[in-house]
Amino acid sequence: MACPGLYCGRQLLPSEIYSDCGACPRGFRRNDTTFICEPCQDSPIFYDWLYLGFMVILVLVLHWFFIDMVVMKRSFSKDILILHFTALVEVILASLFTLLSTFPYGTLEITSCQVKGLSDWYTLLHNPAPNYEKVVHCTQEAVYPLYTVVFVFYGFALLLMLLIRPWICKKFIPRQSKMSIYAAMYFIPILAVIHALIGGLLYYAFPYLIVILSVISSAAHFAAKIDQSVTKLITSTLKNKRNIVILLGHWCLHAYGIISITQLTNPTMHALMILFVPLPALFYILTARFTDPNKLTVI
């Protein structure tokens, strides 16, 4: 017998009979032909891994951004490097613990349900009401475990930061570096709320967000220079290790966005597209002189 809605299914009970239509257990999804809840046995596709990687990179980049902002040193001092390395270790450990605590437990693999559409992320909005009468509640994680695994990662990231960062700051780093801890205690819960509300939209939009934001961030980095001449922009980048690392970081993010958009379905052509990653930075450097407000003529 068919079940209403997109996600309602039947479970096989211990008494060898099938239950009424309802939500499938976690890790199960309805078979659209038999309407029976079946265990998820798929593996994440390349795009799914890129999405999870984006979530990890986002936390790491925010850690590094706030560390750089609160310490207020515009060079790679020992203090800055220790904090950056600590944040990297925290995020890597959080990622490993998340994978190890996800089924199949104790491995770096994930068993998942295949994402079929945007509605899979918002099953709460698709509880059917047959004949416009009683609502059948079938809310479940249809994209198991892509939705909840991000919350697990955020939890581990926050816990590890609170366990490791204060000790590092107290032993090696100046007092103001502790502000990076408070910043993370704000932005990680904010990221969790954003994921809870628009995780599905981010799943489909993150490649384009990476490309757009990396270009904007790169332009903002160059715009912060007082002298906007071509020569000065080039020399200030090449002679400063911090500026080189920031620029390379933007290029890596831009390349990650291109890989996420193309998914390297045509490896040769899409790999060649990565060679154009430096173009936005070069375009800014070559055209910045034409945007000087003092040279604009008011008609």
Check whether residue 126 and residue 245 sit in a common domain. Answer: no
Residue numbers of the domain that contains 15? 1-39+118-142
Check whether residue 123 and residue 249 sit in a common domain. Answer: no
Check whether residue 285 and residue 172 sit in a common domain. Answer: yes
pLDDT digits (tens, 9 = 90+) for 138-160: 999 999 999 999 999 999 999 99
Task: State residue 289's pLDDT score.
Answer: 79
Which tokens is 261 given? 């958009």
CB neighbours of residue 288 within 10 Å: 19
Check whether residue 32 and residue 49 sit in a common domain. Answer: no
Task: State residue 180's pLDDT score.
Answer: 87
- Percent of the chain topping pLDDT 70: 94
Q: How far apart are CA 236 and CA 205, in angstroms?
A: 34
Nearest to 223 by CA among 280, 273, 171: 280
pLDDT digits (tens, 9 = 90+) for 53-99: 999 999 999 999 998 887 655 566 777 888 899 999 999 999 999 99
> Is 80 exceeded by the pLDDT of residue 121?
yes
CB neighbours of residue 24 within 10 Å: 26
> What distance separates the 2 farthest-apart alpha carbons in the chain?
84
pLDDT digits (tens, 9 = 90+) for 181-239: 999 999 999 999 999 999 999 999 999 999 999 999 999 999 888 888 899 999 988 88
Q: How far apart are CA 123 and CA 259, in angstroms?
A: 29
pLDDT digits (tens, 9 = 90+) for 233-257: 999 888 888 899 999 999 999 999 9
> Is 70 exceeded by the pLDDT of residue 296?
no
Q: Which of 127, 142, 157 is the last residue of a domain?
A: 142
CB neighbours of residue 113 within 10 Å: 23
Task: State residue 147's pLDDT score.
Answer: 97
What confidence category does residue 295 fall into, taking pLDDT thresholds of 50, 70 and 90?
A: low
On average, the pLDDT of the chain sits at 91
Nearest to 130 by CA among 21, 18, 25, 36: 21
Check whether residue 13 and residue 68 sit in a common domain. Answer: no
Task: State residue 29's pLDDT score.
Answer: 95
Check whether residue 132 and residue 229 sit in a common domain. Answer: no
Check whether residue 124 and residue 187 sit in a common domain. Answer: no
Q: How far apart are CA 178 and CA 251, in angstroms?
A: 29
Check whether residue 131 and residue 96 sit in a common domain. Answer: no
Check whether residue 129 and residue 91 sit in a common domain. Answer: no
Task: State residue 293's pLDDT score.
Answer: 65
Q: How far apart are CA 165 and CA 177, in angstroms?
A: 10
Q: How far apart are CA 109 and CA 49, in angstroms?
A: 11
Check whether residue 151 and residue 27 sit in a common domain. Answer: no
Check whether residue 132 and residue 262 sit in a common domain. Answer: no
Alpha helices in the chain (DSSP H): 46-71, 78-100, 148-172, 179-223, 230-238, 241-262, 267-273, 279-287
**At 152, which amino acid appears?**
V
Q: Residue 133 to residues 2, 113, 124: CA-CA distances in angstroms?
A: 17, 30, 17
Which tokens is 142 given? 């249809």
Domain count, the chain: 2
Nearest to 166 by CA among 86, 73, 85, 69: 86
Q: How far apart are CA 250 and CA 222, in angstroms?
A: 12
Check whether residue 153 and residue 244 sit in a common domain. Answer: yes
